[in-house]
Amino acid sequence: MSTATANQTIGPYWHLIEDPIWADLTRFGAQGERIVLTGTVTDGAAAPVSDAAIEIWQSSPEVSDSFPAFGRCRTDPAGSFRFVTLKPGPVPGPGNAQQAPHVAITILARGLLNGLTTRLYFQDELLNETDPVLSLIENEARRSTLIARKVALDTWHLDIRLQGDAETVFMEI
């Protein structure tokens, strides 16, 4: 038995493996409620992080031939990213708990020796009040760093702050 291989930063040149179409999780013809997720990533000086890889993974809707449930998008010079995907539904949590609809996020970038993991939740979901992960965060302001704002009928937006005031809650998984 040995321990898992050590992480190293993805560095500034990861775009060599990038396929921009991966940001569209509906490209294989997935049927369902099509939504847009936008966001920004900023550093401890509130400067945009413009060389990051943002990855999303959803346990709902379930992965299938038409829905990869995984996406990857670069941040642009303004630190912005944009995914097209399907709206997740609730999924089971520990014990009998239901998890509110959510999207898992990994942020990979130069200067991040390990990827950072967080979650995106949706504004105004009733299940947010009882979600077993959100409930672990006692501070209301901290909890709100995970809640994406609805900015259009089909679009939610999340600002991710790597460091400093209103630093996003990152998770050890």
Partner 1 sequence: MTIETAPFRPVTDGSQPANNTPSYGSTLLRHPKQAALRIPHTITEATGPAFTAARFAAIPDLSVMNGRQAQGERIIVRGRVVDESGRAIPHTMIEIWQANAAGRYDHPGDQHDAPLDPNFHGNGRVFTDAEGWYQFISIKPGAYPWRDHYNAWRPNHIHYSLFGDGFAQRLITQMYFPGDPLLALDPIYLSVPDTAARERLIATFDLDITSPEWALGYRFDFVLRGRNATPLESA
Residues in touch with partner 1 (CB under 8 A) = 1-17, 43-45, 47, 49, 51, 55, 57-59, 63, 68-70, 91-96, 99, 102, 104, 106, 108-117, 119, 132-133, 136-137, 142, 162-164, 167-173
Cis check: omega of the bond before 61, within 30 degrees of 0: yes
In the chain, the amino acid numbered 55 is E
Q: Which is nearer to Fe ion, 114 or 130 (CB)?
A: 114
Shortest reach from residue 116's CB to Fe ion, in Å: 20
14 binds, among Fe ion, partner 1, none (CB under 5 to 8 A by kind): partner 1
143 binds, among partner 1, Fe ion, none (CB under 5 to 8 A by kind): none
Cβ distance 51 to 42 under 8 Å? no
Phi/psi of residue 42, nearest 5 degrees = -130, 160
Cβ distance 156 to 120 under 8 Å? yes
CB atoms under 10 Å from CB of 57, counted, come to 14
139 binds, among Fe ion, partner 1, none (CB under 5 to 8 A by kind): none
